[in-house]
Amino acid sequence: MVEIRKVEPSEAGKISEIAIRSKAYWGYDKAFMDSCREELSHTEEEILNDDFRYFLAEKEGEVMGFYKLENLDSETVLLEALFVDTLAIGHGVGRSLFEHAKATAKACGGSAMEAQSDPYAKPFYLAMGAKVTGNKESGSIPGRFLPMIEVALEDAA
């Protein structure tokens, strides 16, 4: 069973590595990965910033994945990142993080949570009850459009 806790600032490098490995899992080439490396990186300053919420999933001392929330004072909270390390994919870690993110977003006053999804992650979000609401241009690759998903928070714990 995984334990979910706040990310410590000193873990910025670790969660950045997880984000990069998790994205690369889908077979993207080196040029693609290089172009999105900055967007996948997280800093101590971001983790300490009250405008964001960072949580990670840990099992037996090993970090298995993490998420980041933004727009905490909005009705629609943004799930800015949710990444699961490659060895933990398919073992319920993503589900645990997503459910925790929903509860956190609701506790912040949100009525919905949205995310810009990687196309390969879209089936996961749909299985979690999210709906596709449109497409939005990638922040790191101009001309690449990614699905936007949204989930209502009324049933979040």
CATH code: domain of residue 76: 3.40.630.30
What residues make up the domain containing 109? 3-152
Domain-embedded: residue 157: no
Tens digit of each residue's pLDDT, the chain (157 residues): 899 999 999 999 999 999 999 999 999 999 989 988 999 999 999 999 999 999 999 999 999 999 999 998 889 999 999 999 999 999 999 999 999 999 999 999 999 999 999 999 999 999 999 999 999 988 888 888 999 999 999 866 6
Domain-embedded: residue 36: yes
Domain count, the chain: 1
- The CB-based long-range contact list for 147-151 (8 Å cut-off, 24+ gap) reads 147/116, 147/117, 147/119, 147/122, 148/114, 148/115, 148/116, 148/117, 149/114, 149/115, 149/117, 149/122, 149/125, 150/76, 150/112, 150/113, 150/114, 150/115, 151/102, 151/112, 151/113, 151/114, 151/125
Domain-embedded: residue 130: yes
pTM, to two decimals? 0.93
